[in-house]
Structure 1
Amino acid sequence: MNTFYQAALEIADKKLFRDEKPTHLASPRLGTGGGFMDIFLWDTAFSSMWARYHVDRFPVAASLDNFYRCQTPEGFISRQIRPDGVSKWSPDSVTGFAPPLLAWAELELAPYVPGRLEKVFEPLLRQHKFNFARFRREDGLFFADGWGCGMDNLPRWDDRSEVIPDGGIPFQRNAITDSTKTGDKLFEWLNAQTEVPFYWNKQLGWCDTTCEMAFNALNLAEIARRIGRTAEEAELTAQHAELAELVNALCFNETTNFYSDHLNGRVLNRRTICGFWPLLSQVATPERAAKIIDTLHDPKAFGCPYGIPTLAADDPEFQPEGGYALGPAWAHTNYMVLKGMQKYGYDAFARKVAFRLYTAAKKLWEKTGTIWENYSPVQCDQQVSRAYPDFCGWSALIPITFYREFIC
């Protein structure tokens, strides 16, 4: 264990959230890295990917169990849950959707905590069915919104004039479960946001969200196989095949040779980190996977020297230094790409790509003494302007999981 790795563990220890008084949630629990009291599904799932290597030190299973504890009878698991166990968002709200990554997290945790798969299969299956019923479009693709997809300000359009309320689900006051004046103020603030409006949701067939649902079907099928649920295994495997066919038919741009969102009968041209989800979800054909991975060689696309950006480097809105989802490199989305590359046999290249962000994070840790929420993919001399320090949190993936799986 090197000093960078050890520093991540020490920061993560400090970030463990401990309730001063008993709440509905298990305590202690994995911290997000930020200063939130609420738990977030996206953050917790990715944090479990490093914490599983230290289950004797970090409450990984208990942190995942919090989401099942707060599941509704209909199957809804919110992306954000308050300490009292109440979802921040209504089950009818698109903003309450979370990328369904818990089954993946459980499969990765299973070797370290035996016997969990039998316990978690039913709640995971209920969540999957809820998402299928609630967040699927007529063409079979799925949808989310800026916050629900986990990349708050990522531009998902070719031209800003396309971003209109028509065809979307309106963002209304009842989307927020807090009925007090605090909830009123939150609604007013969110409704005034123009960077990525909250009404921009169902108009799109979201490539990443659809692939995440396919990936969830694949992971649930694997859990079903391991616990002897053969009927569910067959059904979920067929579901994955159906979604893979849809994504390849509706979300691959033959001009850019990249997967993108679907809008008004066409595939968008904009290239974002979302276009790599077909790798991890095993949706991409081998030929198309090769074309996607080729962009990691191109510094004008996603082949930046210090990590995979959220937005292609030749995009006019690319902001690598402080753009949040407009260009910086993030540990969790880089990890998603790396694991996807392995699915198609690009293990050696994945190691080289992993070393890019690992190098940046390690150099900045040596310089600043901390691990950051996100990083510039084009330089490692200074931290970006829009990133929390001590973000362990998912950024602990870099010194721990990147190191164990790709570097050492």
Structure 2
Amino acid sequence: MEQNHSHTQQRGQYFRKKTYQDTTILPFSEARSFLPEPFCEKYPNEENCYWRTWELAYKNIYQPTEESGFVSNFVDAAFNQDIFMWDTAFITMFCNIGHPYIPGIRSLDNFYCKQLEDGEIPREIIRESGEDFSRWVNHEKRPLHSFFHNHYEHRGLFGSEAPSYEEMYVPKLGREVKNPPYLTLDNLNHPIMAWAELESYRHTGDINRLELVWEPLLKFYESMCYHLHNQHGLFVTDWASMDNSPRNYYLGSGVDISCEMVLFARNLVEMANILSAKYQSEGKVELGKEFTAPIKKLENDVKTFTESINRKMWDKDSGFYYDVTDDGQRSPVKTIAAYWSLLGEVADEEQAKQLAKWLQDPKTFARVHRVPTLAADEEGYNPDGGYWRGSVWAPTNMMVTRGLEKYGYDELAQEIALSHLENVVQVFEDTGTIWENYAPDSLKAGDANNKDFVGWSGIAPILYFLEYRIGLRGNSAKNELTWKIDSSLGEVGCHRYWFAGHTINLRAVPQPNGTVKVDADSDGPFTLHVQCGQHKKTIQIYGKEQFSL
């Protein structure tokens, strides 16, 4: 499919929200009384870290400037003066817990409203002006290329030694693309917004949101296929936002972006089925066909992309997925990027089993603080972090834990999540703040780092605290809440837990006779599934209920 292309394209034509509309931004001092209030008798330090993390998040909420053209308030990446797509996608995942009292998922609106006519969405946009980050714009209208390519070095981003476009042009696709992208390869990576939207939907149940973002996401997917799909049946990337990783020398086709495109297609199919079912239930079958029309193509993409990834990127001898070079050879570097294969459901059961083993190996990924982004037995691994040469990052841990759960490795996912939570909290106690990344081999912040980073580092002290320590996980589509209670934690629960439009108070108190007394109170009806050890109970909640396990 050929696409019309112009560097003066209309922006945001697929997103129906055209002008700024949002609620008043509350200061944290006011918002705190609305946010969920988890409590855990055994870990009061995690409660303290939870609230400090929210406070930092609220310092990074912005109302857009008029000249930016942004349409919604947003939580900033806390990195520099720009907003970033993949940072923001992960930020929404812990902000779902505070919805609707923080503009989490709405932060993505400011990317949809900047979408190009051919479907491209820039991953980095200047916060104040709303303009594209100029380095990542294909001003010369060249075929796909990267500004930095394999010579990228962290901290040298704008140095005088940066190579020119002419030096960096690389014909990576192995096929003709008549219409060059508006953006450079540096700006076309990590297409994970559909995953973020579904994570939000599962917590909020806001189906109207899915309908709002359906067309922008489908057009974005099509543009990524058009511009990045290569002769190996894979997707090209360059430094893939893992700035100074040793993998960059070999890229090539990235195992992360290739698996993310499978994930993207799966997400779109799931959205299409949800939206089609909505219209069918309303007797509007013809309208529902708009969403089902692309499903066959998307499902075929899942199949063919998965086959290519497993043929070219899986190494059966080592039991691991690797990036691929321009000429189709596997990279020799083991990185956390391989675990996108779990989230995208690219791996079969045996492959997933081997990947899980690597996560439990102290010589590679099972370090003091899990999970480092570079395996510890790789050349260039930095035990102090070294940014993407070993540091532990919240977004990659989020990807790993969600991927493990898709294959039934719930205990390993919880083990990794709690390792991350406990280490983040310990560093918080030592330093008084949250950091961009963390050292893998000691309890400290990474050595190339930013502090007060909330930002995506809010995932552990907010989302992991509620999901893995308190044990709460909502499914708004089914109006169900699962609560896994650990009686060894003492009194545990959450006031004002919000999901599916309900505000819920929950408390579990271990009793001297070995039972656990549970109190639940909700302003709306939902199904509560409670598990404590081997004991399970399902109960319908509306108003106040008390029972024992």
TM-score (norm 2): 0.64
Check conservation: 1:279, 1:343, Cα contact below 8 A. Answer: yes
State whether structure 2 residue 462 is matched by structure 1 residue 400.
Answer: yes
Q: Residue 53 of structure 2 corresponds to which residue in structure 1?
A: 8
Letter in 2 for 1:48: T
Check conservation: 2:368, 2:441, Cα contact below 8 A. Answer: yes
| Aligned-pair CA distance for 1:309 | 0.4
| Aligned-pair CA distance for 1:131 | 0.5
| Aligned-pair CA distance for 1:19 | 4.6
Q: Residue 332 of structure 2 corresponds to which residue in structure 1?
A: 269
**Bigger-Rg structure (1/2):** 2
User: What is the CA–CA distance in structure 2 between the aligned matches of 1:298 and 1:62, rounded to whole Å?
Assistant: 39
State whether structure 2 residue 270 is matched by structure 1 residue 222.
Answer: yes
Check conservation: 2:71, 2:113, Cα contact below 8 A. Answer: no
| Aligned-pair CA distance for 1:58 | 1.2
Which among 185, 188, 191 is matched to residue 97 of structure 1?
188
Check conservation: 1:309, 1:320, Cα contact below 8 A. Answer: no
| Aligned-pair CA distance for 1:20 | 6.0
User: What is the CA–CA distance in structure 1 between the aligned matches of 2:328 and 2:391, rounded to whole Å?
Assistant: 30
User: What is the CA–CA distance in structure 2 between the aligned matches of 1:268 and 1:82, rounded to whole Å?
Assistant: 34
Letter in 1 for 2:74: R
| Aligned-pair CA distance for 1:37 | 2.4
Q: List 4+ stretches of structure 1 deviating above 6 A.
A: none
Q: Residue 509 of structure 2 corresponds to which residue in structure 1?
A: none
Which among 261, 265, 274 is matched to residue 213 of structure 1?
261
User: What is the CA–CA distance in structure 1 between the aligned matches of 2:199 and 2:462, rounded to whole Å?
Assistant: 15
Which among 125, 140, 154 is matched to residue 245 of structure 2?
154
Unaligned runs of 5+ in 1: 158-162, 164-199
Check conservation: 1:41, 1:98, Cα contact below 8 A. Answer: no
Q: Residue 85 of structure 1 corresponds to which residue in structure 2?
A: 130
Across the aligned residues of Structure 1 and Structure 2, the Cα RMSD in angstroms comes to 1.6
State whether structure 2 residue 155 is matched by structure 1 residue 64.
Answer: no
Matches within 5 A, 1:157-306: 163=249, 201=251, 204-228=252-276, 229-263=291-325, 264-306=327-369
Q: Residue 390 of structure 1 corresponds to which residue in structure 2?
A: 452
Higher strand share: 2
State whether structure 2 residue 134 is matched by structure 1 residue 43.
Answer: no
State whether structure 2 residue 408 is matched by structure 1 residue 345.
Answer: yes
User: What is the CA–CA distance in structure 2 between the aligned matches of 1:92 and 1:150, rounded to whole Å?
Assistant: 15
State whether structure 2 residue 372 is matched by structure 1 residue 324.
Answer: no
Give the length in aligned residue pairs: 361
Matches within 5 A, 1:128-143: 128-143=221-236
What secondary structure sits across from 1:81 in the alignment? strand
Higher helix share: 1
Check conservation: 1:253, 1:268, Cα contact below 8 A. Answer: no
Check conservation: 2:439, 2:447, Cα contact below 8 A. Answer: no
User: What is the CA–CA distance in structure 1 between the aligned matches of 2:406 and 2:105, rounded to whole Å?
Assistant: 26
User: What is the CA–CA distance in structure 2 between the aligned matches of 1:265 and 1:399, rounded to whole Å?
Assistant: 41
Check conservation: 1:256, 1:269, Cα contact below 8 A. Answer: no
105-114 or 129-138: bigger deviation? 105-114
Letter in 1 for 2:269: A
The percent identity for this pair of structures is: 35
231-240 or 19-28: bigger deviation? 19-28
TM-score (norm 1): 0.85
User: What is the CA–CA distance in structure 2 between the aligned matches of 1:123 and 1:26, rounded to whole Å?
Assistant: 15
| Aligned-pair CA distance for 1:387 | 1.1
User: What is the CA–CA distance in structure 2 between the aligned matches of 1:37 and 1:261, rounded to whole Å?
Assistant: 31
